[in-house]
Amino acid sequence: NESKSKFPNYPGLERWRLIEKMGDGAFSNVYRAQDREGTAGEVAIKVVRKYEMNSMQRANILKEVQIMRQIDHPNIVKLVDFSESRQYYYIILELAPGGELFHQVVRLTYFSEELSRHVIVQVAKALEYLHEERGIVHRDIKPENILFNPVPFVPSKNPKPKQPGDEDKVDEGEFIKGVGAGGIGQIKIADFGLSKIIWESQTMTPCGTVGYTAPEIVKDERYSKSVDMWAMGCVLYTLLCGFPPFYDESIEVLTEKVAKGQFTFLSPWWDDISKSAQDLISHLLCVDPEKRFTIREFLAHPWIRESGPTPRDER
């Protein structure tokens, strides 16, 4: 039955048995796959259709791989291997079996403050590593590129009583405690397709050679990092209420809203969310990049440093 595989034939990928398609993009399909030799276990393979790309797009794929080679962090998907055939690039990646955070937001409607914190702190740790240790900006932080490892089923000690009409809803509180298969354990950032190196770790360090660097370069560096901080603000907003801070049917209107930083903590959805969380988001969705929180300021904010349930969770 191997010959009747439901997947295309990919020359050079014989080592891996494709199991299922996990996602796709403009030029790629992402599969879950298993090592026939058994040493690497399960992986994700991003198969990129080289033959549909021009030379610039191909160069971008090689850059994506080049950047991933330099990265080693528990909250970032690791590069396992890279190879190519005449028609395809094969990017073999550490598998994040839970898939996209995006699907969990859809499934749960919104996250509790505790679960949102659990998620965003891990996103922030990944960004801290990229920004401060590697001089890399991601530039495409969004719920589709935030993946996770689920935690195994652990029965809750005191499950919340279900309200009428809630019968089908998964108790969001269960997720943080690992109850319910598919609960969010470890976060893994993926997709370095738009990422950029702002300084090489060999030639420059955040505090080392900076004395010789021109102000416009230092500013550029700050601005590009702040792009990820804005995106993280949008993600945190979305996790807490279930809809994004900026939305409009018309691209023109949406662009205008973003440019002016026009968002609100819409009632009634935000009524029970802590003022502390709202304060943090306001410091991220700040139009002036000079005033926007850096990753350090983010991690030092009281809402991040708090632990345990916050008002909404206690109802």
Q: Which residues bind Mg ion (CB under 5 A)?
A: 145, 191
Among 35, 140, 171, 313, the one annotated catalytic: 140
Cβ neighbors of 202 (< 8 A, separation 6 or more) are none
- In the numeric block, which tokens belong to residue 107? 């499934």
Binding mask 212-251 for ligand ADP (x = CB under 6 A): ----------------------------------------
Considering CB under 6 A, how many residues would be counted as binding ligand ADP?
Answer: 20
Strand stretches in the chain, DSSP E = 16-24, 28-35, 42-49, 79-84, 88-94, 99-100, 136-137, 146-151, 183-189, 196-197
Task: Report d(CA 122, CA 265) in Å as an integer.
Answer: 24
- In the numeric block, which tokens belong to residue 14? 């014989």
23 binds, among ligand ADP, Mg ion, none (CB under 5 to 8 A by kind): ligand ADP
Binding mask 14-43 for ligand ADP (x = CB under 6 A): --------xx-x--x-x-------------
Binding mask 67-86 for ligand ADP (x = CB under 6 A): ----------x---------
The dihedrals phi and psi of 208, each to the nearest 5 degrees, come to -65, -90
Q: Is 140 labeled as catalytic in the residue annotation?
A: yes
Residue 276 C-beta: closest distance to Mg ion, Å: 31
Please, how many CA atoms are within 13 Å of residue 263, restricted to the half-sphere of its CB? Answer: 25
Check residue 105 for interaction with ligand ADP (CB under 6 A): no
Whether the bond between 268 and the residue before it is cis, its omega within 30 degrees of 0, is yes
Residue 96 assigned as binding residue: yes
**Active-site residue list:** 140
Binding residues for ligand ADP (CB under 6 A): 22-23, 25, 28, 30, 44, 46, 77, 93-96, 99-100, 144-145, 147, 190-191, 193
